[in-house]
Structure 1
Amino acid sequence: MTTTNGAATPIELDPVHLQPEQDEDAEADEAGLCERCRYFDIQAFARSENRTRGYMLHDVRFAATANSGTNRDGCALCSLLLRSVEDIDRPRDTTEWELNPFRIPVEKDPSMYVHMTMCADNVVAAAQPTNAPGLGLGVNRIRTAVADRFSEVMNPSDHELCLVADSDSPAAHGNDITGRYLGTDPGSDAHFDAIQAWIRDCQSHPKCMQTVSGVPIDVHQADLPARCVQLTGHGADLAARLAVTEGIRGSYITLTHRWNGETELCKTTADNCDQRQQDGIDLQGLPKLFRDVFTVATRLGVSYVWIDSLCIIQSGDGGADWKKEAPRMAQYYQYSLFTIAGTMEDIDNGLLQPYSQDNAPWGPTNPLIRLPYRDKTGSPAGHFFVYRRQVPVVDDYCTTVRESILFRRGWILQEWLLSKRLVWYTPRGLFLECHTDGPRTEYQERVLVANAQPHLRAQLQMKANFHFGNAAILDFWYRTIEHYSSCSLTRPDQDRILAVAGLAKEVGRILADRTGDAVVEGNHHEMYLAGLWLRDIHHGLLWEEDHAAPPCNEVVGQAPSWSWASLMMLVRWPDKDYERETALRVVGLCLSRREQDQDQAQGRDGEHAESQDAEQHHRRHNAEYAIERGGWAVPARPAAASPAPPVRAPFDPTNMFACLHIRGRLCTVHVRGYLGTDGKAKAAAATAYTNRPPSEKWRAICSRAKPEVIAGWASAERLEQPDAACADAGVAVQVLLVSTRFRRKGAYLKRRDRVLDVLLVEEIDARAHVFRRLGVGRIFDGDLVAELETAGERDFQFV
């Protein structure tokens, strides 16, 4: 048999019951079990080197059959074991002929055993001495497999057989069974005790007790948000009021939720803010979700709750309070005791409704099976339970949390990434998620990254990598924005950048710390421009529409065309080339719009409005900041002005607009039809991607001199062109050289071919030399590469 670490070790497959006859009366109440299973001894697994024991398959089959022995309905445990392996093929030894017609079917092979391995979350720990003080088996799973007694070849089952015990049982106190049986009522004392215990354990994790940028957190004496809902009393005597809590320390709970009609009716406005502070909040006018959150807080002894719709003025002040509070969310979610999230499709019934047996982990067809528990001395000491999970825990988390309607909200991403602890209330129970250990159920079942599907594994690793210790924090930023770009926003013009402002604030702190730029009173001088970082602008500009997603060209008119935030579409970045040579230079910035330009932008839609806004804006504006060596932005001054100490531009994580004043090289190319054949697409993909991209939406780039030769590819999200083959005349477009990457070719004598990263651009104001982005591409034809690299530099503005 092969163990979890790959080592082949003969296993003991004696019956797991090794108890004297006088124990028979003590276990006579274990109804539904055959004689052997009534004497089940979990300590026998501790005596096995690999924690594996076994039953002969034909014995299990016989005991599971009705009317076997004294059990009229068959043994419940044997039936469970049989169901877990009955669909498994007989394991094939490497010496056996694959098409052997004389092979004995697994159900008739007398040498086959059902192997049972005790483990924790499907990970087998090293066996401990049976008399080791304070140590137990520490298991919550039985892994089953079919093999003969000593074979190294086995076929495992993919069924999850779970072990749970009552919290106050000897099996739990002895740490043999780590799974917990709490029932199906999330409002029970057992559930709140489990949350309390989880919080205590989490506070021993260094990563969970500091911000992403490394600032220590005391969740019991944290700086409270500017406003909180203050709770007094309990149950029917519960009262709530909106309190100004800035400057006060304590503990508080945050809520992430999906806005609906009820939220809109109960939100805090400039008109009712003072009244809610003085007279309190009418609880009956709040959604059941909010009232349940208050119940959770009071049951856990927490007096303050932060809910954005109640604690931020949502209307009546011109957005001033929202603009001030949005960057503070990085602090609010990180410093909270935990964040509550409800993922039910219908949240009208709140969070604390008991869920049905159909939604219990074991489901309606897999009842709990009670087994006798024996301590290390072999004495009977109560019982524990085993059941087959109807949905594997990883799939359960993915379905009820990651694929829930709540996780489609644009705001949820930063709330999830910033919260050190989250309690997910789902239709099938709770998930308790911390930054260090990841998610687990209230039954203490962990969602392991190794067991997750690739897309979920990437998301869990994304959160684990959001920490100042991550040397590639900008790579994290791009992967995060790729995920964020798939989410929906009710008000994209307002929220497209605001919904990641908290993340930007923490990333900016990390970057500033690495460059030795002190963070004073929360301020530093990293240049964050409409969702991109000036220090990495050459890579940031290379975002591309993900053509594998459905097309969506909703324009966010407040953002510049060169930012991913300007279009409501799924985007991605290529892998970064750390050997690249940068080409264009950002020599100045303009960060503000005039009020009349803002008014003109509103009420218009589509690309025409976007280009017109940019044109009018830049006819009237010069660069507000000049870029010095080192990437610092300082106020631009006339040449004759007397020198003065430079004042760097402030860091603004809510920045929605910037005009880049650029010095770079331009040339004209022809963009033709799609790269329709497999060979052309693969050749293009080799310029920036390991594999061929999962789309057919790249267009051919050709030079004016050689229109018949494919010189590169383009992904043009704004270029209007009919779907045509590569033989058409194409559209003349200017390209801007961003950087040069190198493609190595050859088996032995390798050569480095130059590949140019370019942006497709369009001049929208010839007098002011204002350009906007049309798309992104690569150029790999040597003649066109030389033409672009030798073109003269020009100064222009990029909006």
Structure 2
Amino acid sequence: MGQDEATSKAVSAKGTLNVGVNPALSPMPSNLEELVTLMQQPASQFTQGDPRDMIWIRPGPVCTVCYNLDAPSSHSSPWAKREYLIAPGTPAAHIKVAVATDLLGGARRGCLTCAMVAAALNAFAPGWDKKKTIVHMFVAPNLPVVVQLLYGSLSTTTADESPSKYGWVWPEGAGVHWDVQVTVRDATAQPVEFEIYRCDDPVDQSTVGGLVIGEQIRHIGTASPISGHAGSLPCFQFLKTCVETCMQTHQCSSGGHPPKLPDRVIWVKAPGTASGIRLVETWGQQQPQQQKKRAPYLALSYCWGPVSASTLLTDASNLERHKAGIAYADLPPLLQDVVDIARLLGIEYVWVDRLCIVQASETDFAWQAPKMGSIYGNATLTIAAASASSEADRILVARDAKWQTMDLDIAEKTFGGKLHFQIRRRSQPLGKEREGGDYGKVSTRAMLSSRTVFFTSSGLRFECRTHSLWEGFGPGLTGPSWSAQLDSAHISHAGWMDLVSEYTRRTLTRASDRLPAAAATMRRVAKARGWSHRWGMWTGAGTPVDTLAWQAERYTGVRYKHLCAVRPGFYAPSWAWASVEGPVTYEYVTGMDTARDPKTEDAEVCEWDLPSGVIRVTGRVITRTIRCHVTEFPGDPAVPGVIEAEPAGLSHRYTMAGLAPQSKEEEVEVEGMEGMPVTPDSALQPWTGVVVDGVAESTVVRVPHGDPVPDRSWAGECRCLMLVRQKLRCVVLLLGRSRRVPGAWERIALVGGPDPACWEGAPRVELDIA
């Protein structure tokens, strides 16, 4: 520990510890017995200074199994900078133990850190050493060690093949050499993921030996226990500190003054009422908008759950009664907890949609919906009730025992040293936080907020537009803010595509909230980037054509099902992702390898008629036939803990021949059906209702909302508009005739992978897409 060889004396203890002692130490231990006596002293009684500066243990050989949980450069990994806000250049490693029981061999050879990990595995996954298992360890200086246990084995093969198969353009004669490593997972056993961290024991509770030996694992980060109850004092202290730190040191909300209150709020410290709770209107004929009261307020993001006649709502029949007072006992359990949180934080006002928007009133909803972004964005704090499935569930509850911390103590008998660690399951799987976390329905509205606390089953997570912080994080350790991306002046269209993919995977209580919520988010980006938007899409001159290249999420089950459905009425034009309800992705364009084969926009949007929702696109078009093969699916039983039951029903598979994909693997042949697979925007059907030049034309359209999906196989013609191309493949928009706008087209699907050569000689035409 910083001492020169010439000025130190080594004493070997049982041949396992090579201890260096500063000669200035008085009295200087002359043998093992004196050294043991010294090391067993309480650290608080060591009068020579810091024991770690006077006595040190020389490191031995590096363990070839766990690398002593340090960060070898040969195992470099970006995992840490994705999970935490750490200094640039901080080394991080991913250590893989292909046969997990090798940890036991390392422990028998005297490796302390192998023994630590093995002991932790015994606690979280008893019997792991009796099965085929793989261990992944993620390490970085001053961070908790993350350990993943997978049930299964590794299979490694090599392969050489042509890069053109993958749409890559490499020099003539070049090949691709692959070392393919496949994890063969045991589907009957769930993976285990946990973290190991140090506890900072006060010096007066430690021995000299404990402090000295502890230097061997000083690179492992520290953290603190998570409370066993979400309503405990430590939880409120954590939350209060997070909010105050953000308000005092960050610029996550505009201005240094309290926000204007929404049009209606629940006043939780209302005098003159038995419960101190009533609905107040902050704006009206007597209170102009510019004179609205300013005050801190909480907003709630939660899952409504089933609505019945007894559900507490504000509607026309009880609006005046709620303004007179609301009994605490009449509030559902979740809202009671929210009132308690507000009062403990010293905040008098709460905004809850079902009480602050007049239900069953389209007029009031139309008035309030466009303000949703500012309501959540201006809130002092949004409470995201992630652990509640409905208003009947409380969030101030005891936490499941599986999330609680366990102690991991390691004693060194010779010197009396003791290492104290703690281990706990990770609240979120590694890598999930960089996507904004997965907290179900509550995440969509929470992403609009300046500050949010997620009440999850495993702990509290605070996020503002500067950073994120889990309850129990180590001192000064924070994570990235997912919502901060929306304020960045450097956000790209590709970055926005990733956000849309994440956003549409989340659901809202009212699907009609989707565009107002997206618009509020887009206003933040527009302010930073100067872009224009409509219908949840970026519009106007300079907008890349590949923003049109969204696609419905593909279903990966045995029976093909449509994951997206058409919305009722006219909610958005067909070229906008908001025209369907369900998860969408931009993987065809964001997954292109543009480093080896740059992409080129082949089509151009030359006119945006936003009031009508019609855009005019110029590009090369060919005509092809799309086929739908409909079969009866008998159903599959569930495998407990692995897959859900797949009920019997119709299976619809769509293909299109004549697009000549580069890889034959991208073509399918199912019961005589050939061609490239197509994932439609929603269920499709043939249609002959359009007449062009006096002739009925067959086309393909989306099945309207509420109409039955065809139960027989069919085929129909569509137009194929090339959007984006590379040398070997392209992304293509499939279009059918519009039933809403005469003479226009509507999109029905997007495909990726066709050979651009199919469009050679095709004329460039103008198409109106509605």
Matched AA of 2:423: R
Deviation per CA, 1:241-276, whole angstroms, max 9, x where unpaired?
A: 112235211211111111024698112223322332
Contact 1:393–1:445 under 8 Å retained in 2: no
1:763 aligns with 2:763: no
2:546 alignment counterpart: 539
1:137 alignment counterpart: none
Q: For residue 112 of structure 1, report the CA deviation from its aligned partner.
A: 7.1
2:440 alignment counterpart: 408
Matched AA of 1:761: L
Residues 792, 353 of structure 1: alpha-carbon distance in 2 compared, 3 angstrom cutoff:
closer
Q: For residue 164 of structure 1, report the CA deviation from its aligned partner.
A: 6.0
1:226 alignment counterpart: 263
1:715 alignment counterpart: 678
Distance across 2 between alignment mates of 1:432 and 1:91: 29
Contact 1:528–1:534 under 8 Å retained in 2: no
2:242 alignment counterpart: 198
Residues 661, 714 of structure 1: alpha-carbon distance in 2 compared, 3 angstrom cutoff:
farther
Distance across 1 between alignment mates of 2:318 and 2:419: 53
Bigger relative contact order (CA 8 A; separation at least 6): 2
1:391 alignment counterpart: 425
Q: Give secondary structure in 2 for the equivalent of 1:669.
A: strand
Residues 115, 561 of structure 1: alpha-carbon distance in 2 compared, 3 angstrom cutoff:
same
Contact 1:546–1:571 under 8 Å retained in 2: yes
Contact 2:551–2:749 under 8 Å retained in 1: yes
1:189 aligns with 2:233: yes
2:357 alignment counterpart: 312
Matched AA of 2:658: C
1:239 alignment counterpart: 276
Deviation per CA, 1:91-127, whole angstroms, max 9, x where unpaired?
A: 9999xxx99xxx995455469788999xxx97536xx
Residue correspondences, number: 545
Distance across 2 between alignment mates of 1:104 and 1:352: 41
Q: For residue 697 of structure 1, report the CA deviation from its aligned partner.
A: 7.8
Contact 1:313–1:321 under 8 Å retained in 2: yes
1:340 alignment counterpart: 383
Matched AA of 1:758: V
2:498 is aligned, of 451, 454, 479, to 479
2:567 is aligned, of 556, 579, 600, to 556
Q: Give secondary structure in 1 for the equivalent of 2:725.
A: strand
Distance across 1 between alignment mates of 2:67 and 2:684: 55
Distance across 1 between alignment mates of 2:317 and 2:718: 52
Q: For residue 294 of structure 1, report the CA deviation from its aligned partner.
A: 1.1
1:501 alignment counterpart: 519
Matched AA of 1:715: V
Q: Give secondary structure in 2 for the equivalent of 1:739.
A: strand
Q: Give secondary structure in 1 for the equivalent of 2:447.
A: helix
Distance across 2 between alignment mates of 1:408 and 1:297: 23
Deviation per CA, 1:342-388, whole angstroms, max 9, x where unpaired?
A: 222556352223336x24531xxx358799xxxxxxxxxxxx99452
1:589 alignment counterpart: 609
Contact 2:428–2:437 under 8 Å retained in 1: no
Distance across 1 between alignment mates of 2:393 and 2:738: 53
Residues 428, 584 of structure 1: alpha-carbon distance in 2 compared, 3 angstrom cutoff:
closer
Distance across 2 between alignment mates of 1:714 and 1:178: 51
Contact 2:589–2:731 under 8 Å retained in 1: no
Contact 1:227–1:312 under 8 Å retained in 2: yes
1:667 is aligned, of 622, 626, 651, to 622
Counterparts of residues 107-506 of structure 1 (less than 5 Å): 107-109=107-109, 124=141, 159-163=195-199, 179-180=223-224, 183-206=227-250, 209-210=251-252, 216-218=254-256, 220-232=257-269, 238-246=275-283, 247-261=292-306, 265-277=311-323, 279-315=324-360, 317=361, 319-345=362-388, 348-355=392-399, 358-359=401-402, 361-362=404-405, 366-367=406-407, 386-395=420-429, 407-409=439-441, 412-442=442-472, 444=474, 462-472=482-492, 474-492=493-511, 494-506=512-524
2:726 is aligned, of 739, 742, 750, to 742
Matched AA of 1:230: W
Distance across 2 between alignment mates of 1:210 and 1:255: 18
Distance across 2 between alignment mates of 1:540 and 1:217: 34
Distance across 2 between alignment mates of 1:122 and 1:181: 20
Gapped runs of 5+ residues in structure 1? Answer: 2-9, 22-33, 58-84, 126-139, 145-156, 171-175, 372-383, 450-459, 516-525, 593-657, 675-695, 723-728, 744-752
Deviation per CA, 1:698-755, whole angstroms, max 9, x where unpaired?
A: 8454279xxx999995635155599xxxxxx995633253534333xxxxxxxxx6x5
1:702 aligns with 2:655: no
Residues 141, 665 of structure 1: alpha-carbon distance in 2 compared, 3 angstrom cutoff:
closer
Q: For residue 391 of structure 1, report the CA deviation from its aligned partner.
A: 0.7
1:774 aligns with 2:729: no
CA RMSD of aligned residues (A): 5.6
Q: Give secondary structure in 2 for the equivalent of 1:340.
A: strand
Contact 1:254–1:306 under 8 Å retained in 2: yes
Distance across 2 between alignment mates of 1:193 and 1:781: 60
Residues 343, 793 of structure 1: alpha-carbon distance in 2 compared, 3 angstrom cutoff:
closer
Deviation per CA, 1:405-449, whole angstroms, max 9, x where unpaired?
A: xx332xx34423222322222333322333323132156578866
Contact 2:252–2:464 under 8 Å retained in 1: no
Structure 2 length-normalised TM: 0.58
Contact 1:252–1:303 under 8 Å retained in 2: yes
Distance across 2 between alignment mates of 1:589 and 1:227: 36
Identity %: 18
Matched AA of 1:326: A
Distance across 1 between alignment mates of 2:25 and 2:348: 53
Matched AA of 2:339: F
Q: For residue 143 of structure 1, report the CA deviation from its aligned partner.
A: 10
Residues 46, 427 of structure 1: alpha-carbon distance in 2 compared, 3 angstrom cutoff:
farther
Deviation per CA, 1:185-235, whole angstroms, max 9, x where unpaired?
A: 4333333223222223223554xx245xxxx343x522222221112179x
Q: For residue 288 of structure 1, report the CA deviation from its aligned partner.
A: 1.4
Matched AA of 2:293: I
2:578 alignment counterpart: 565
Distance across 2 between alignment mates of 1:770 and 1:42: 87
Q: For residue 667 of structure 1, report the CA deviation from its aligned partner.
A: 3.0
1:793 aligns with 2:765: yes
Q: For residue 501 of structure 1, report the CA deviation from its aligned partner.
A: 3.0
Matched AA of 2:426: P
Structure 1 length-normalised TM: 0.56
Contact 2:744–2:768 under 8 Å retained in 1: yes
Deviation per CA, 1:570-602, whole angstroms, max 9, x where unpaired?
A: 32113367863453444352636xxxxxxxxxx
Residues 187, 546 of structure 1: alpha-carbon distance in 2 compared, 3 angstrom cutoff:
closer
Q: Give secondary structure in 2 for the equivalent of 1:500.
A: helix
Q: For residue 777 of structure 1, report the CA deviation from its aligned partner.
A: 3.1
1:528 aligns with 2:525: no
Q: Give secondary structure in 1 for the equivalent of 2:279.
A: strand
Contact 1:54–1:115 under 8 Å retained in 2: no
Distance across 1 between alignment mates of 2:25 and 2:456: 42
More strand per residue = 2
Q: Give secondary structure in 1 for the equivalent of 2:268.
A: strand
Q: Give secondary structure in 2 for the equivalent of 1:469.
A: coil
Matched AA of 2:264: R
Matched AA of 2:424: Q
Contact 1:223–1:248 under 8 Å retained in 2: yes
Matched AA of 1:194: F
Contact 1:667–1:735 under 8 Å retained in 2: yes
Distance across 2 between alignment mates of 1:203 and 1:766: 50
2:120 alignment counterpart: none
Q: Give secondary structure in 2 for the equivalent of 1:232.
A: coil
Q: Give secondary structure in 1 for the equivalent of 2:736.
A: strand
Residues 322, 314 of structure 1: alpha-carbon distance in 2 compared, 3 angstrom cutoff:
same
